[in-house]
Structure 1
C-alpha cells in the first residue's frame, strides 16, 4: 500500500512539470431526480475571439481540409462556442448531447493522410459529434470505429491545435476521447465527471486516487496547474449537494466553475499552463439551456435551444460577442443569420 501511494505521489509531482497551453476545466454535475449539468471554463493566454453559433438540422458539412475531407449531413440542431471562429470547442445539441474540447499537450493524431480514411479538421471534431449523435453510447460506438482521421493544423495564434474531447448526455453518461501516439483511447463511464488538461486522462485518474487518500477536507493542492485543478474539482464536485431546483443547481455549477477559474490578468510566460479564464459555460442538459459567462461582463446570459428558429433548411445563426456586449437573460432573439465559419485548415 505504501509503495502504491509513493508511486501515485511521484506521478502527481511529475504532472506539475507538464507544460500546457491553457488551463480549462470541465465537470458533469448530477442534480436530484436525474437532472444533469455540464460546466466548463476556458482559460487561454489571449482572448479567443469567441462568438456563439446555432446550426440547423439537415445542414451539409465537410471536414474542412480540402480534398479527402469527410462529408455528412447534420441530424440535430446545435448551439456552440466558436474558438477563433475556426473550431467548435463547446456546445450541445437538441437531443441533449453536450461536448467540450480542452487542450491536451500530449495529443498526437498520427499521419492522417497515410491512414487512408476520410479527413476531419480538429476544429470540426466536436461539431461532428453534435451533428450526428444523440447519446454518449451512440457516439462511443460510432467513433470507436474511427470513421475519420483528425487533422490538427496550427491555430491562428501559432499554437499547436491539440485537444481531448468530453461528451455527456441526459442520462448522465460520460466519455473522454484522446489520441495518444496516433491511437484513439476512449474512457467511458458515468463516473468520469471531471476533466482538465495534462497529463492524459488515465494519469489524471491516478493523481485523483492519491489525493483521495489524503482527504479533501484535510488538504487539497491549490495551484492552477491542471493536475491540481483535477484533484480539487473532483473533491468539490462530490462535496456539494445534489440540488432539485434547476436555478439552484445551475448556480451551484457556475459557482464551482468560478471557484476553479484563474483571475483575469494572471499570466506567467514561464508556466504556460497558467492562463487567465476568458469565459465559462454551463449546459442544462434536460432543459436544453446553454449559459455563457464572459469574465469581461457583469452578468450571465443564456439561450433556450428550443426558442431558436432552427428547422431544416434554415440558415445558421450567430450571436456576435466581439467587443464584449453586455447581455443578460435569455438571448435567443439576438442571434442573427450568418454564414457558418470554416473549420481550421492547413495553411496553403
Structure 2
C-alpha cells in the first residue's frame, strides 16, 4: 500500500475534524483515479424530498438557452446560448438542469451544495448560464477538464431557484485521464482547485479552508485503530470517504472497481431519518457511479433493491437523434437498461 498516498488523501479528509460544517444540503463525491483498470467516480444525492431524477440521453447538436429554468427566463440580459458538440448521459434535477452526468469523451460533472457559495453580482457583459445548467454546458462543449476550465473564463454562472431551493452549488469535474477540478464561487470570485489529488468532495467548508488545515495534521499511519467520525455532517463524510478511498485494493474487473467506489458512497450516505444538525432530514435519494474509461453510467435509487446501468457508447448520439429518457423509480428495473430508454416527448432543456 502506498503510505504517502494514504497520508495525502486521509490528511486532506481528517483536517475537517476541527471544522464545523454549516447547515445545508448534503452530498458526497468520490473519485478513484489511481487504480490500473479504469477511472471511476461515485456521488450521493442527499435531499429532503425527491429531486425527480430522470436519466436522460442528449445527442449532439442540441440548441440550448442557458438563461431558462423550465419556461421562465431567469437570465434576462445576455443569456448564454450554445449548440452541443458532444452527446451526454445525465441525471436531471426537477427538469431544470443536470445534477450529475458524463459525456461521450469521458468528462464527468457533479454539482453539490455549498453554503458559502456566492456567484457575485450580475455582469451583463458576459453571457450568463443559470447554475443548474452549468454542468450541462461543460458536458456539451468540453472533452476534458482543461477544456472545461477554459470555457469558464468567458461566461458567468448565475444563481437560480426551484422548489424554494437556491442553486448554491460548487462543481466537481473529472475526465477519463483521471484529471480533476473543484470549482467554487466565493465572494463573487471563482476559485479552482485543479489536480488529480482532489478526489473527495462534500459540502462546507470551502476547499481553501480544508487545505489550510492540512499542513497542521499528521495522519501518516492510518490503521483500524484510527478513530473515524460516524455522523452525517460534511466533515464526517469527508473523513470517512478519503480514508476508505486511500485503502481500496486494486480491482481485477470493472465490477470490482464500481463496487469499490459504490461501497464508499454507501458508507457516507445519509440513512433514512438521520438528522443533519438543525436543518432537517436529508436522506440519500440516490447514488451514481461513472466509469469514465468505458463510458458507462450506474445508478442506484435508495428505495430500489437494484443497481441499473447504461452504456453511453451504445447510444445514438448523432445530431438529430431523439432525446431519450428513463425514469429510475421503477422497482422492476435491474442490470443493463441501455435498451430501455424511450424517446422523450420533449427535451427537458
Q: Please, what TM-score do these two structures have when normalized by structure 1?
A: 0.88
Displacement of 1:212 in angstroms is 4.7
For structure 1, the residue ranges without an aligned partner over 5 or more in a row are 1-7, 343-348
CA distance in 1, matches of 2:93, 2:214: 29
Q: How many angstroms apart in 1 are the aligned matches of 2:221 and 2:87?
A: 43
- Measure, in 2, the Cα distance between the counterparts of 1:33 and 1:298: 30
CA distance in 2, matches of 1:39, 1:179: 23
- Structure 2 spans left out of the alignment, 5+ residues: 1-11
In structure 1, C-alpha distance between the alignment counterparts of 2:21 and 2:132, rounded to whole Å:
28
> Does 2:66 match 1:59?
no
Q: Residue 317 of structure 2 aligns with which residue?
A: 310
- In the other structure, the counterpart of 1:319 is 326
Deviation at 1:140, TM superposition (A): 1.8
What is the distance in 2 between the residues matched to 1:211 and 1:239? 19
State the secondary structure of the residue aligned to 1:219: coil
Tell me how far 1:150 sits from its aligned partner. Answer: 1.6
Q: 1:100 aligns with which of 98, 107, 110?
A: 110
1:76, 1:253 → 2: CA distance?
26
Instruction: Report how many residues are paired.
Output: 328
Are residue 43 (structure 1) and residue 53 (structure 2) matched? no
Q: In structure 2, what is the Cα distance between the partners aligned to 1:33 and 1:289?
A: 17
Please give the per-residue CA displacement for 1:55-98, whole angstroms capped at 9, x wherever unaligned.
00111112134442111111110000011121201000000001
Per the TM alignment, residue 267 of structure 1 is displaced from its structure 2 partner at its CA by 3.5
What CA deviation, in whole Å up to 9, does each residue of 1:112-141 have, x standing for no partner?
Answer: 2x3421110111100000000011111122
- The reply on whether 1:119 has 2:128 as its aligned counterpart is yes
After TM superposition, the score normalised by the length of structure 2 is: 0.88
Question: 2:232, 2:276 within 8 Å by CA — same for their partners in 1?
Answer: no
Describe the SS at the equivalent of 1:298: coil
Change (3 A) 1:201 1:307: same
Give the drift of 1:23.
1.3
- Determine the structure 2 residue equivalent to 1:200: 206
Question: Corresponding residue for 2:266?
Answer: 258
* CA apart distance, 1:210: 5.5
* Distance in structure 2 (CA, Å) of the matches to 1:99 and 1:75: 16
Answer with 281-290 or 302-311: which moved more. 302-311
* Partner-residue secondary structure (3-state), 2:171: strand
Is the 1:120–1:148 Cα contact (8 Å) retained in structure 2? yes
Q: Could you tell me how far apart the structure 1 residues matched to 2:212 and 2:198 are?
A: 13
Contact in 2 for aligned 1:48/1:84 (Cα 8 Å): yes
- Distance across 1 between alignment mates of 2:260 and 2:312: 21
Residue 224 of structure 1 aligns to a residue whose secondary structure is coil
